[in-house]
Amino acid sequence: MREIPIPISDEVIRSLHAGDPVLLSGVMMTGRDAVHKWMHDTFIKKTRQPQGNDLRVYEEIKKILDHGVLYHCGPVVSGLDTKEYKFVAAGPTTSIREEPYQADVMRHFNIKGVIGKGGMGAKTLQGCVDTPGVYFHAIGGAAAFLAQTVQKVLGVYKLEEFGVPEAMWVIEVKNFPVVVTMDAHGVSQHSTLDERSRKVLDELLAQPY
Amino acid sequence: MQRDYTNEILELIRRTSSSLPKDVEERLRASIEKEEPGSAARGALETILKNVELARANSTPICQDTGTPIFYVHYPEGMSTRKLREQIRAAMAEATKRSYMRPNAVDAIYDKNTGNNLGGDDFPYIHFEEVDADQPLVIELMLKGGGCENVGRQYSLPDNSLGAGRDLAGVRKVVLDAVQKAQGQGCAPGILGVSIGGDRGSSYIKSKEVLFSEIGARNPDPKIAELEERLTKEANELGIGPMGFGGKTTVLDTKITGMHRLPASYFVSVSYMCWAYRRRKMTVKGEEVKYD
Ligand code: SF4
């Protein structure tokens, strides 16, 4: 299987195609609903004033996300009392909830890979083409297995404010297995399968009971 | 004095979150053989099974979304449900502290996570059912993931866009539609809980209740049993596959139950359960506590 280190160059991104299974290694950051809304409202659409440590966190995550990877994941983390954090469970969460924000977030931070599950829509696909970037599909629910690929928790942002599952966890992973399902050439495996299954459905619905 | 079951319930939660029931694991294992060697579908199923073994060995959650905890408590006449509720809640908070459960209860209005899986009166969801005084105390727990919950659907029949009328033929159509719309987003392969009738609320609750039965357990009514088998088979013809990577394994099993309805309404509720089909039961007979 092809191994890809993070950060990822545009060249590598363009060489990836929907359907390719790959193994990712390097530093990535988790982010889900609260993070996307916060990024979008505070720094992209600017409908909300930065508050508290927002600006400092923004400067730091910009460095992590440039040519980096954002993972839609709400982990289970142990060691919260001692701050010796360890990922206990770290599977992907449903990505489509970030559809309103994702393309803007990718372009704004120059994110090369978004990992999640379930795939995303037309707006994000356009974001993949523009940035350029790809959508990586992880194995939903394989949380214990994926947590094992997390070598180290390097830090966390907005833990107090967003809570454990919604905070931004910076992690170092090794051989994290994913499948490219949306590529920078505008191909989405999700739309292909959606159309194909819809045809089968129509045939089934036409059959008598 | 009623005994304190907090520790036993904590153990029930640990087992439910970290150890997938055998019948589910076996069905997943059998599905691998149906997928092409080297395919993304097969790879996904293999990763899933490795994950199941790892979680069980390490007592860690099978999935990081430890879901909505749904308890069904069958308590002998005379037992205090108020105390049982307190003990369930105490066990839930402790299970969260020990990372068997992720803090999952978020105040919907103020967007604040309570941090201990306790929120209002309804989180965790606890249903009490009284049984005779000489019967054992049975506590069933299901953890229902959010991703799969989001792809659940409710239809009000007739549904003209699908040509679905108020009969089993119509039910078949809307259930297949629900599976097609879910694609891989509910972490396929899934298990379908279907309820026909009721009002919107009771119908959804029943569609989850049927998921407490084992894989392969059929509705006693042969007509419904046949529809269950047929729906599983036809859903798999859609080719959505594990995770929506394409493939032959989309649905592992279908469970249907019927309710009474108002003459005016005909609801069909489909609850989609992901492959991380976590349900366990504890039975207390005298001093003995049995888990399965
Ligand atoms: S749908 Fe199920 S397997 Fe998928 S992330 Fe949610 S709980 Fe886990």
SS3 sequence, chain A? Answer: CEEEECCCCHHHHHCCCCCCEEEEEEEEEECCHHHHHHHHHHHHCCCCCCCCCHHHHHHHHHHHHCCCEEECCCCEEECCCCCCCEEEECCCCECHHHHHHHHHHHHHHCCCEEEEECCCCHHHHHHHHHCCCEEEECCCCCHHHHHHCEEEEEEEECHHHHCCCCCEEEEEEEEEEEEEEECCCCCEHHHHHHHHHHHHHHHHHHCCC
User: Minimal Cα distance from B113: which residue of A?
Assistant: A163
Res. B64 pLDDT band, cuts 50 70 90: confident
Contacts of A93 in chain B (CB under 8 A): 64-65, 146-147
Please state, for a pLDDT cut of 70, what percent of chain A lies above it: 100
* Both tokens assigned to B207: 């569609």
Residue found by looking up tokens 């460095």 in the block:
A63
Report whether pLDDT(B1) > 90.
Answer: no
> In the prediction, which pLDDT does B37 show?
87
Rounded Cα distance between A94 and A72, Å, is 7
Rounded Cα distance between B268 and B175, Å, is 8
With a CB-CB cutoff of 8 Å, which residues 151-170 of chain B face chain A? 162-163, 167-169
CB pairs under 8 A between A and B: 175
User: Minimal Cα distance from A199: which residue of B?
Assistant: B238
Question: What's chain A's average pLDDT?
Answer: 95
Res. A86 pLDDT band, cuts 50 70 90: very high
Res. B286 pLDDT band, cuts 50 70 90: confident
Under a CB-based contact definition with an 8 Å cutoff, are residues B92 and B6 in contact?
A: no
Report whether pLDDT(B259) > 90.
Answer: yes
- H/E stretch holding B84: helix B81-97
B292: closest CA of chain A, how far (Å): 22
Q: Which one, of B155, B162, B173, lies nearest residue B271 by Cα?
A: B155
**3-state class of B17 per DSSP?**
helix
Quick check: B99 and A76 CB within 8 A? Answer: yes
CA separation (Å) from A117 to A93, A140, B124? Answer: 6, 6, 26
pLDDT digits (tens, 9 = 90+) for B202-224: 999 999 999 999 999 999 999 99
Side chain identity at residue A117, one-letter code? K
CATH code, residues A2-206: 3.20.130.10
Rounded mean pLDDT, A15-24: 92
Please state, for a pLDDT cut of 70, what percent of chain B lies above it: 100
Res. A19 pLDDT band, cuts 50 70 90: confident
Res. A25 pLDDT band, cuts 50 70 90: very high
CATH architecture of the domain covering B6-16+62-145+278-291? 2-Layer Sandwich (3.30)
> In the prediction, which pLDDT does B264 show?
98
> In the prediction, which pLDDT does B88 show?
98
Quick check: A163 and B103 CB within 8 A? Answer: yes
Give B84's contacts (C-beta < 8 A, 6+ positions apart): B5, B73, B75, B128
B15: closest CA of chain A, how far (Å): 15
Rounded mean pLDDT, A132-147: 94
Rounded Cα distance between A174 and A26, Å, is 7
Residues of chain B with CATH 3.30.360: 6-16+62-145+278-291
Which neighbouring-strand residues pair with B72?
Answer: B127, B140
With a CB-CB cutoff of 8 Å, which residues 87-126 of chain B face chain A? 99, 101-104, 106, 111-113, 115
Query: Ligand 1 centroid to B99 CA: how many Å?
Result: 17
Q: How large is the greatest C-alpha to C-alpha distance in chain A, in angstroms?
A: 63
Q: Which of A32, A33, A76, A94 to mutate to test the pocket of ligand 1 (most atoms within 8 A of CB)?
A: A94
Side chain identity at residue A62, one-letter code? K
Check if B275 contacts A (Cβ < 8 Å): yes
Quick check: A88 and B276 CB within 8 A? Answer: no
Query: Of B66, B169, B180, which has the smallest distance from its Cβ to A197's Cβ?
Result: B180
Q: Which one, of A99, A100, A133, A131, lies nearest residue A118 by Cα?
A: A99
Side chain identity at residue B250, one-letter code? T
Rounded Cα distance between B231 and A193, Å, is 20
Q: Which residues line ligand 1 (CB under 6 A)?
A: A 91, 140-141; B 63, 65, 67, 145-148, 186-187, 274, 276
Please state, for a pLDDT cut of 90, what percent of chain B lies above it: 93
Question: What's chain B's average pLDDT?
Answer: 96
User: Minimal Cα distance from A94: which residue of B?
Assistant: B147
Quick check: A165 and B44 CB within 8 A? Answer: no
Residue found by looking up tokens 């520790």 in the block:
B7
> In the prediction, which pLDDT does B40 show?
87
> In the prediction, which pLDDT does A94 show?
87
Res. B14 pLDDT band, cuts 50 70 90: very high
pTM here is 0.88
Res. B38 pLDDT band, cuts 50 70 90: confident
* Both tokens assigned to B289: 């506590």
Quick check: B64 and A177 CB within 8 A? Answer: no
Q: Which one, of A35, A28, A27, A26, lies nearest residue A159 by Cα?
A: A35
